[in-house]
Amino acid sequence: MTNHHTIRLNGPWEMIAGLSDEPQRVKLPQGWPDIVSASHAGPVMLQRWFHRPTGIDDGSRVELILIDLPFSGSASVNDTSLGPFPAQQEHAIHLGEHLTQRCCLTLSVERLADLGNAIPVPQISLAIHPPD
């Protein structure tokens, strides 16, 4: 059994699709079909602001958890690259030293997964693990 607190990053995201400078608001999980559709037409970037979680001790570990995203891509927080992530898998990325009082998470869509007619219900969240 895992001993961590999960914060889902649903809520409003900004989607910048194609060459547009105007972001479109999408609410997850309902907005996944819009993101997949926009990705067929060109590059897509998703951004979401969040505050540094409260109650993090010095020994706590904070991870970005990506589950079943319908695309592979790369992630960054506060303009610092967190590296690539795979499509349709669970992927954890350590965030600890990158967290500030207000954080901007950016997911760049690089390649859509072969979804057939199904769009999974992905999850984006933070996992806060207590000190060991």
**Tens digits of residue pLDDT in 27-64:** 988 888 888 889 888 889 999 999 988 878 777 889 99
**Is domain 5-129 given the CATH code 3.30.230.10 in the classification?**
no
Segments making up each domain of the chain, as ranges? 5-129
pTM listed for this prediction:
0.89
Mean pLDDT of 108-122: 81
Backbone phi, psi, residue 100, to 5°: -125, 180
- Express each pLDDT in 61-109 by its tens digit: 899 999 999 999 999 999 999 999 999 999 999 998 889 999 999 999 9
Sign of CA dihedral 63, 68, 71, 72: positive
- The owner of tokens 């979401």 is 48
Of 41 and 26, the structure prediction assigns the larger pLDDT to 26
Side by side, which strands form the sheet with 5-8?
5-8, 123-129, 61-67, 90-94
